[in-house]
């Protein structure tokens, strides 16, 4: 049972929750995932079984695509709806933004950009995960990281919400991108929805619902063998 599973992660579960479910389902010791999805996000999660866990760094390094929604008007401690509100807009000007204004700002974030990782992230500071410090109310200085946005397209504007599709390199935080875009527009913002649609050549269209994997007696048939997985990475 060496290979990978393409899971359509539901909202509400952590990536580690999914790993635990799969570990118990197949009674395996070595199970990992190829890139975290926040609990409030859904979509493609690659689960690696047994020897396939050695592919972890290669999978994590793959480019990713998301469909996300930014909401203007307030920001939160976590950058999404899971946190507490920390700033509200002083006026309702964000409801009157013109389409061209929003498009101009979005275009500023295409290409190689610098992004400061959010406090609620797995980035380490002196050996400690930032999110562990954030939960204690501690904020530390973080160095900006260079990341790439290959494509950033607005799909729908229904203020205060802006739906967009993005293809980006590893290390980019969509939550932070929404905050930065909102700041550039002059208003606090947060990530209100997100679905990961692709990781490298792997697509959400080929993924399976977690319930299906856990409940079908012969769900082993959904495992992509290690030799095939290697060719796709």
Catalytic residue ranges: 38
- For helices 174-185 and 99-107, give the axis angle rounded to 10 degrees: 130
Query: Cα(94)–Cα(200) distance, rounded to whole angstroms?
Result: 35
Query: Cα(43)–Cα(66) distance, rounded to whole angstroms?
Result: 9
Structure tokens at 39: 């609990």
Residue 158: how many other CB atoms lie within 10 Å: 8
For the chain, the straight-line distance linking the first and the last C-alpha, in angstroms and rounded, comes to 19
Burial of 67 (0-12, 13-18, 19+ CB in 10 A): middle
Could you tell me the CA-to-CA distances from 156 to 36, 60, 138, 153, 159 in Å, in that order? Answer: 26, 29, 36, 9, 9
Structure tokens at 79: 């950058």
Residue 32: how many other CB atoms lie within 10 Å: 22
**Local structure of 13: helix, strand or coil:** coil
Residue 231: phi and psi, rounded to 5, are -70, -25
Residue pointed to by tokens 């527009």: 185
């Amino acid at each position: 049972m060496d290979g990978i599973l393409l899971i359509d992660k539901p909202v509400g579960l952590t990536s580690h929750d999914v790993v635990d479910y799969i570990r118990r389902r197949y009674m395996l010791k070595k199970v990992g995932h190829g890139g975290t999805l926040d609990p409030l996000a859904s979509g493609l999660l690659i689960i690696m079984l047994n020897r396939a866990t050695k592919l972890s760094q290669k999978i994590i390094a793959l480019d990713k695509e998301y469909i996300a929604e930014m909401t203007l008007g307030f920001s939160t401690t976590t950058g999404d709806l899971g946190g507490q509100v920390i700033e509200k807009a002083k006026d309702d000007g964000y409801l009157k933004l013109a389409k061209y204004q929003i498009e101009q700002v979005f275009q500023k974030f295409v290409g190689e950009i610098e992004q400061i990782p959010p406090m609620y992230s797995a980035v380490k500071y002196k050996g400690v995960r930032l999110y562990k410090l954030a939960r204690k109310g501690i904020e530390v200085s973080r160095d900006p990281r260079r990341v790439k946005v290959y494509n950033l397209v607005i799909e729908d504007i229904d203020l205060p919400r802006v739906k967009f599709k993005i293809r980006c390199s590893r290390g980019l935080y969509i939550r932070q991108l929404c905050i930065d875009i909102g700041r550039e527009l002059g208003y606090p913002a947060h990530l209100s929805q997100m679905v990961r649609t692709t990781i490298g050549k792997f697509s959400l269209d080929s993924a399976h619902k977690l319930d299906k994997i856990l409940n079908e007696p012969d769900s082993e048939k959904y495992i992509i063998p290690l030799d095939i997985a290697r060719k796709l990475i």
